[in-house]
Amino acid sequence: MKNLFSALFAFITVISTFAQKQKPNLIVGVVVDQMRFEYLSRFENHYSENGFKRLIREGFHAKNTHFSYIPTYTAPGHASVFTGTTPANHGIISNNWYHKEENKIVYCVADDNMTSIGVDGDDGKMSPYRMLTTTIADQNRLHTQFRGKTFGISLKDRSSILPAGHTANAAYWFSGGENGKFISSSFYMNKLPKWVKDFNRETDKYLKTWNTLKPLETYIESGSDRNNYEKGFKGKEDATFPYDLKMLASQNDGYDILKDTPFGNDMLTDFAKEIILNENLGQDEVTDFLTVSFSSTDYIGHNFGVNSKEIQDTYVRLDQNIADLLSYLDQKIGENNYTLFLTADHGAVHVPQYLKDHNIPAGYFDNKTFRRGVKEFVKNKFGTSVLVEGYSGNEIFFDYDELEENDVEADDLQEALYYYILQQDGIDRVYTRDMIEGSDATSAFSNTIKNGFHPKRSGDIIYILEPSVISYSKQGSTHGSYLNYDTQAPLIFYGNGIKNASSFHRYYIRDIAPTIAALLGIAQPNGTTGQIIAEVIED
């Protein structure tokens, strides 16, 4: 028996030592804003061997990963990736939503109690306080007694703040216009570090001419350069290459023009390398976190559409950014000392007019006209239009004080609007608060609705548009639906502790955070509803 206990103790010691040796010094969470899953294969022939292909070749490629809620927007996407749950729990139900108590639209990370750091004005008055649960980065900070560092970076404030969580050392985002600099909030610091100020002095160099990285005629995986489905830039007659950014900047909100070009991704990649160097990330045995969100892909998709030459060139160049970042991590952290995952916050739909021109059902929905119709219907049905208090996205909010004042039951208003809205052109489905809260969510679709519904923050009526029907301009792409073009996202795990394999098993974005928690041997984020992807982690 003594020998048995001795052998068991030795075995546990070996396993413990192995786990300690395998724990990465740095976790890098990469989110590519508006990246459709198909971009990995569609533009594959133009990728190098050292970017996306390296991640897939040497890492774990989950080929059937989806978001499990609506709406599929940037803020809930980033929050879900890093909290391991959905808006029903983390509370970030959209980028903006109608706040019932404040009677106004609120922005997901806006915080009037903060002050801007590095710039005048409101661009830095931000914090993660509206996010209700912890992120995987928060859990690492708690586990390491705050010795493990966390930094979040992006061109968008929400895309740097939400992933980094409530306990981050800092989050940085880009303030365009006349500023052209990375900034932060008093939530994190009192002033910008010297290295950030030094970097900000060099942002002019990214304002250059955007031409295709490879010959335009080789980009056969996208539509023609000249078409009717793109917006382009003010000051240029058509949306065709090349684009002289220095010349166009003054008519396109100054430095904001960088966001709509792949040079925004170049700038963020360089900033990532600077933060790794200057904040000494991954330099000891305590795991640090860096969250990196590439936003230019989203701005370019909205501007030019998912089938544009511009979006193809952006991903060919992003492949180089990924290769550059991996090479730098190899050099500074060590090739087997870091773990990286890459995913997206949502996908995007083809420009509906493009689909219509090719006989595919699609269209446009006018929210302003729809809301006028709702107001008129409610007034005719109940004698007053004040029963509806506000709108946010595809949600309608009731005024419960007015319901009581006018002796109208919420159930009656829900039922009346349900049947009215369902009859409108472009509407696919309608859900009432009672339907959602009373649902047992037995179907995948009802789960999708319930996962995006927060009882205190969501509306009383939610309406779903038909496939490829959007409330948007007739140029450029957007997102937000429950359909595969918006929900399917790339997911690749790479590096220390990651198995080299691939899978078509259906996974969800909420599974990322608990998988990283298992890799590190730490607690999962406190609202986690995802599952550990066991086949990702090396035995």
Q: Provide the pLDDT confidence category of residue 441 given band limits of 50, 70 and 90.
A: low
Per-residue pLDDT at 124 = 98
Catalytic residue set: 74
Higher pLDDT, residue 382 or 445: 382
Mean pLDDT of the chain: 95
Residues above pLDDT 70, as percent of the chain: 95
Q: Cβ of 75: how many Cβ atoms within 10 Å?
A: 28
Q: Which two tokens stand for residue 181?
A: 């600099």
- Spell out the domain ranges in the chain: 7-350+481-536, 366-425+427-465
Identical fold for domains 7-350+481-536 and 366-425+427-465, yes or no, is no
Q: Provide the pLDDT confidence category of residue 438 given band limits of 50, 70 and 90.
A: confident
Secondary structure in 3-state letters for 452-513: CCCCCCCCCEEEEECCCEECCCCCCCCCCCCCHHHHEECEEEEECCECCEEECCCEEHHHHH
Decide if pLDDT at 20 tops 70. Answer: no
Q: Provide the pLDDT confidence category of residue 75 given band limits of 50, 70 and 90.
A: very high
Gap between the Cα atoms of 497 and 368, Å rounded: 51
Q: Provide the pLDDT confidence category of residue 439 given band limits of 50, 70 and 90.
A: confident
Gap between the Cα atoms of 105 and 526, Å rounded: 27
Decide if pLDDT at 364 tops 70. Answer: yes
| Rounded mean pLDDT, 428-432 | 96
Q: Is 20 helix (H, G, I), strand (E, B) or coil?
A: helix
Q: Provide the pLDDT confidence category of residue 459 given band limits of 50, 70 and 90.
A: very high
Q: Hey, what CATH topology would domain 366-425+427-465 get?
A: Gyrase A; domain 2 (3.30.1360)
Decide if pLDDT at 77 tops 60. Answer: yes
Question: CATH number of 7-350+481-536: 2.60.15.10, 3.40.50.970, 3.40.720.10, 3.90.226.10?
Answer: 3.40.720.10
Decide if pLDDT at 3 tops 80. Answer: no
Q: Provide the pLDDT confidence category of residue 343 given band limits of 50, 70 and 90.
A: very high
Secondary structure in 3-state letters for 252-280: CCEHHHHHHCCHHHHHHHHHHHHHHHHCC
| Rounded mean pLDDT, 20-35 | 90
Per-residue pLDDT at 446 = 78
Decide if pLDDT at 11 tops 60. Answer: no
pTM value is 0.94
Query: What secondary structure does DSSP assign to 65-131, as a single string?
Result: EE--SS---HHHHHHHHHHSS-HHHH---SSEEEETTTTEEEETTB-TTS-EESSSSSTT-B-STT-
